[in-house]
Amino acid sequence: MIKHLSNSSLQNLLHLYNRIWHEHCFPSSWQQAIIIPIPKPRKDPSNPLNYRPIALTNCLCKLMEKMVNRRLVYYLEHNKILSPFQSGFRPGRCTIDNLLALETDIRTTFLKRQHLVAILFDIEKAYDRTWRYGILQDLFNCYLRGNLPIFIQNFLRLRQFRVKVGYQLSDPFIQEEGVPQGSVLSVTLFALKIAFLNIYNLPLNPFLYVDDLYISCSGDNMAFIERQLQIAMNKLTQWSILNGFTFSTSKTSCVHFCRKRRLHPEPEIKLYGQVINVVSEVKFLGIIFDTKLTFLPHVLQLRKKLDRAFNILKVLSNTSWRASRLSLLWVYRAAILSKIDYGCTIYGSARQCLTEIKRNSSFCPPTLVVLFAPLQSKVYTSSAMNHHLNTDVKCSPFITFLKF
């Protein structure tokens, strides 16, 4: 709707934004949000803690947030204030950067015949527990003065929310701490708050993607690795207490990457006095890493997801009401190709696993025959797809994602 406003209306809107910016006033309706609880995947829906609170805020407020956020991000990037290990919501960076860094560290460790121990942290209710005064203090320490920090202060103070379930709205509640999850400024403010971790001077490899943090240490001596990781753990514990965050001891996991066949003790690292669980595989940014880096667990899980997506295509390609080939191709790109494409540069080294699964499973069902074959052909394989049809929709042949 805002895009279709007339020039005079846009001028009035700009005048309103300038008044809010210079006069340090903030509309009370912009401080109200409607919370939509989104259930977390594979969690018990009867438990209220297994829902992700997404805040719906005022559209005019979001537009001004974008304007302020662009200036704030430019200042933080230009002055190199954000952590160099942070890849979340930054220009030119994505999740693949952290995944490639982790895979490179693991393979380098394998070549040197060493051990690599990685710890993946989970921050409990990261956005809801973000310390507002700490954000304002960090802005002050970054030499930000004037209208921008005052706008952020007005944006964070006196926030109210109402929970919407179905068509019912709850009574309004005051949000005393945290940033609204789903707003434009929240990600940048959280990245600023978490940018000052006190572990960057240790011989570790830390990486961040918004609130997903992992640290790793490699070497020949397991005692040295444990000592360095425990020092980092103690510093992170102190940092979390000072900044109002809490690491989940049950969800924080440790994984030991090693290809040595002889017996060796597993690392024992404590968080808040509790020993962290050592697991054989861990999911990081959507990719499952196992201790031997075979990626077999990830490929097996990917196969299950693709089977469900293929079943949808089978229904849509029914001969009674079959959709057009172009429509099926768009569904294929959205539901199947996107899953295969994500992280293929990481798990692409698992050639034997992919070949074995492709040979022993119906990875290319008859749906793809209907999807890619010319109308005249009766027998057609997915390895010989219609090249012109793939070119028209800019879709690579399916078989190319199985052969690396």
Domain boundary among 326, 354, 382: 354
Q: Are residues 300 and 164 in the same domain?
A: no
Task: Let me know if residue 394 belongs to a domain.
Answer: no
Residues 6+ apart with CB under 8 A from 381: 364, 369
Task: Let me know if residue 305 belongs to a domain.
Answer: yes
Per DSSP bridges, beta strands 159-165 and 32-39 are parallel
Domain boundary among 251, 271, 290: 290
Residues 6+ apart with CB under 8 A from 1: 59
Q: How far is CA 273 from CA 121, 214, 215, 231, 237, in A?
A: 15, 19, 19, 13, 10
Q: Are residues 198 and 77 in the same domain?
A: yes
- Convert 41-70 to b/e letters by CB count within 10 Å (16 or more is b): eeeeeeeeeebebebbbbebbbebbeebbe
Q: Are residues 107 and 143 in the same domain?
A: yes
| Domain ranges, residue 325 | 296-354
Task: Please report the pLDDT score of residue 352 as a whole number.
Answer: 57
Q: Are residues 273 and 319 in the same domain?
A: no
Q: Are residues 128 and 34 in the same domain?
A: yes
Q: Are residues 90 and 193 in the same domain?
A: yes
Q: Are residues 272 and 348 in the same domain?
A: no
Task: Please report the pLDDT score of residue 92 as a whole number.
Answer: 86
Number of Cβ within 10 Å of residue 78's Cβ equals 8
Task: Let me know if residue 28 belongs to a domain.
Answer: yes
Q: Which residue from 227, 221, 291 is spatially nearest to 254, judged by alpha carbons?
A: 291
Q: Are residues 284 and 306 in the same domain?
A: no
Domain boundary among 256, 290, 324: 290
Q: Are residues 275 and 210 in the same domain?
A: yes
CB-CB contact of 69 with 185 (8 Å)? yes
Q: What angle do CA 125, 29, 167 make, to 5 degrees?
A: 70
Number of Cβ within 10 Å of residue 219's Cβ equals 16
C-alpha gyration radius of the chain = 25
Task: Let me know if residue 80 belongs to a domain.
Answer: yes
Task: Let me know if residue 376 belongs to a domain.
Answer: no
Task: Let me know if residue 370 belongs to a domain.
Answer: no
How many whole angstroms separate alpha carbon 154 and alpha carbon 19?
A: 14
Q: Are residues 245 and 311 in the same domain?
A: no
Strands, E, within 199-333: which ranges? 205-209, 212-219, 253-257, 270-271, 274-275, 277-279, 281-284, 287-290
Residue in the structure block whose two tokens are 């490899």: 205
Strands, E, within 75-177: which ranges? 115-121, 159-165, 168-169, 173-175
Task: Let me know if residue 396 belongs to a domain.
Answer: no
Handedness of CA 41, 46, 49, 55 (dihedral sign): positive
Task: Let me know if residue 5 belongs to a domain.
Answer: no
Q: How far is CA 49 from CA 38, 40, 128, 211, 250, in A?
A: 11, 9, 13, 18, 15
Q: Are residues 281 and 318 in the same domain?
A: no
What's the number of CA atoms in the CB half-sphere (13 Å) around residue 39?
Answer: 8
Amino acid occupying residue 14: L
Q: Please tell me the total count of domains within the chain.
A: 2
Q: Which pLDDT tens digits describe the chain residue by residue (404 residues)?
A: 788 888 899 999 999 999 999 999 999 999 999 999 999 887 888 888 888 888 898 999 999 999 999 999 999 999 999 888 888 888 888 899 999 999 999 999 999 999 999 999 988 888 888 889 999 999 999 999 999 999 999 999 989 999 998 889 999 999 888 888 888 999 999 999 888 887 777 788 888 888 888 999 998 888 999 999 999 999 999 999 988 899 988 889 999 998 877 777 788 999 998 999 999 999 999 899 999 888 888 888 888 888 888 888 888 877 776 677 788 888 888 888 888 888 888 887 776 545 454 444 444 444 444 444 433 333 333 333 444 444 444 555 444 444 43
Q: Are residues 219 and 150 in the same domain?
A: yes
Q: Which residue from 298, 378, 305 is spatially nearest to 344, judged by alpha carbons?
A: 298
* Global confidence as pTM: 0.80
How many whole angstroms separate alpha carbon 4 and alpha carbon 20?
A: 23
